[in-house]
Chain A
Amino acid sequence: MDEFTHISNGMEIEGNLNGGDLPVIVDGRFTGEIHAEKVILGEYGLFVGKLFAAHVEISGQFNGELVCDTLNVGATGKIDGSVKADTLSIDLGAEVMGSIGRAT
Chain B
Amino acid sequence: MDKVTGNKAVIASGANFKGQIKNTPSIEINGTVEADINAEKLAIGEGGKFVGAANVELVVISGHYDGNMEAGSIWATATAEISGKIQYKTIQLDRGAALNCRFIHNWKQEKITSKKNDYLVSKKEGPKKDGIDIESHKTLEEPTEANKKNKRNTEISERAKAGESVPKSVTHSLEAKTENDDGFKLFADWAKKAPEEDQKLRGKGLGIFKFGFRAAKLPDS
A positions within 8 Å CB-CB of B: 1, 3-25, 27-28, 32, 36, 40, 42-43
Q: How large is the interface on B (under 10, 10 to 19, 20 to 34, 35 or more residues)?
A: 20 to 34
Give the number of A-B contacts (CB < 8 Å).
94
Measured between C-beta atoms, what is the minimum distance from B143 to chain A in Å? 44
- Complex: A17 Cα to B21 Cα, angstroms: 11
Pick the contact of B31 from A5, A7, A14 — CB < 8 Å? Answer: A5
Please indicate the chain B residues that have their CB under 8 angstroms from the CB of A25 in the complex: 1, 5
What are 8 inter-chain pairs, A to B, with CB distance below 8 A? A5-B15, A6-B8, A6-B10, A8-B7, A13-B17, A16-B19, A20-B31, A22-B13
18 more A-B residue pairs beyond the given contacts A24-B12, A43-B2, with a C-beta to C-beta distance below 8 A: A1-B4, A4-B5, A6-B10, A8-B6, A8-B9, A8-B24, A10-B25, A12-B21, A15-B19, A17-B18, A18-B15, A19-B12, A19-B15, A20-B14, A22-B13, A28-B9, A32-B19, A42-B2
- Which residues of chain B come closer than 8 Å to A23, judged between CB atoms? 12
Interface residue B92 (Cβ < 8 Å from any Cβ of A): no
Closest residue of chain A to B5 (Cβ to Cβ) is A6
Given the complex, which residues of A lie within 8 Å of B12, measured CB to CB?
3-6, 19-20, 22-24
With A3-B12, A5-B15, A18-B15 as contacts: A11 and B21 at CB distance below 8 Å? yes
Q: Is B20 among interface residues, defined by CB-CB distance under 8 A?
A: yes
* Nearest CB in chain A to that of B28: its residue: A6
Instruction: Give Cα A18 to B14, complex, Å.
Output: 8
CB distance from A67 to the nearest CB of B (A): 19
